[in-house]
Structure 1
Amino acid sequence: MSSKLPDRPSGPRRGRHGRGRRGPLMPMHLPAYRSRPERFDDAVMASAQRLSQRWPGEIEKIDFLIDPVPSGKLLEQAAALGERVPLASSKPAAPGRPARIVIYRLPIEQIAENAGELLDLVHQCVVHEVAQLWMKPISEVDPMYFPEDPDF
């Protein structure tokens, strides 16, 4: 006579006391549900989407990357020139590789005093790097955000 063990459910396991993961600790509608890096990713995506409305098909040709901090080489170059820590960098397209914009999360988060300012800084960095890649004035890349009239 063979004894067969009961089938175990394939879902998440609970601890030996019947407790364990039951669900998210934070409801999805609260801001703390997403981590800081995830919210930063969202800010970069929102900025790129905003520009894609003005430049359909062009922004999609650019790879947007997010790194925590600039590389040691970039930091050394900035220090040698007496400049501040870079907030973003870009590389033009090459054969077999699209143009690339890298946004550095931690330097921007350290400068921003609140969530609204963080969104503004991210968008400024994205627009500045796009303008450099395309060799266009910043006001042409996003005239609504960077008006040419300084009294605006």
Structure 2
Amino acid sequence: MRRDRHGRGMRGPLAPGALPLRRTPVEEFDALVMESVVAIERRLAETLGSKFTDLRHIEFAVDEVPPESQTYDADIVEDRGVPLSKLYPAQPGTVAAAPRIVLYRRPIELRAESKPDMESLVRSVLVEQLASLLNLPPEDLEF
């Protein structure tokens, strides 16, 4: 490393290119969603055995914000009129052949006061959507 042209500070990147830096908020949220899905799969295996232990047939996605022009149906989990997630049912014979659960990152982050609060909110939204999709009581999925 060299000093800057005035001799005061270091020039160049703060961290070497090979050093992993902190994950972005988007990456952290994605990881949180996947950890919650894995935990729910484990809970299903414990309570129901092999009947519903695999959630691989369901697509999970994260979007920044919900679309503006959308009619709100029963397949949407919302808080004070703002959607937190949406369940898109399977459409056999089309590109969207698998059911899809989309979580909206920004509305969830704005409602959470802390990281544990956000984990709890993500978990409850996923439980509610999966319970609706699998026709199970939410109590069977909670952990």
- With the length of structure 1 as denominator, give the TM-score of the two structures: 0.67
Q: Cα distance 1:51–1:104, how it changes in 2: closer, same or farther (>3 A)? A: same
Give 1:62's aligned amino acid.
Answer: I
- Larger RCO (CA under 8 A, 6+ residues apart): 2
Structure 2 residue aligned with 1:35, among 13, 16, 24? 24
How far apart are residue 61 of structure 1 and its match?
1.2
Show structure 1 runs of 5+ residues with no match: 1-16, 145-152
81, 85, 88: which is aligned to 2:82? Answer: 85
CA shift for structure 1 position 52: 1.5
Structure with the higher strand share, 1 or 2:
2
Choose which of 64, 67, 71 in structure 2 pairs with 1:71.
67
Cα offset for 1:60? 1.3
* Structure number, greater radius of gyration: 1
| Contact kept in structure 2, 1:67 and 1:102, CA below 8 Å | yes
- Kindly state the Cα deviation for residue 124 of structure 1 after the two structures are TM-superposed: 0.7
Cα distance in 2 between the residues matched to 1:77 and 1:95 = 23
The one-letter amino acid of 1:100's match is R
Report how far residue 77 of structure 1 moved: 3.9
Q: Deviations over 1:8-67 (max 9, x none)?
A: xxxxxxxxx9x645615x865xxxx01111110011001100011133543111100000
Structure 1 Cα separation of the partners of residues 106 and 81 of structure 2: 14
Identity, % of aligned pairs?
34
1:104 match = 104
Match of 1:14 in 2: none
SS at match of 1:128: helix
Alignment partner, residue 138 of structure 2: 138
Paired residue secondary structure (1:60): coil
1:73 is paired with a residue whose SS is coil
Aligned equivalent of 1:47: 36
Whose helix fraction is larger, Structure 1's or Structure 2's? 1
Instruction: Count how many residue pairs are aligned between Structure 1 and Structure 2.
Output: 117
Aligned mates of 1:103, 1:39 — CA distance in 2:
14
| Alpha-carbon shift at residue 84 of structure 1 (Å) | 1.4
Q: Distance in 1 between matches of 2:140 and 2:72?
A: 29
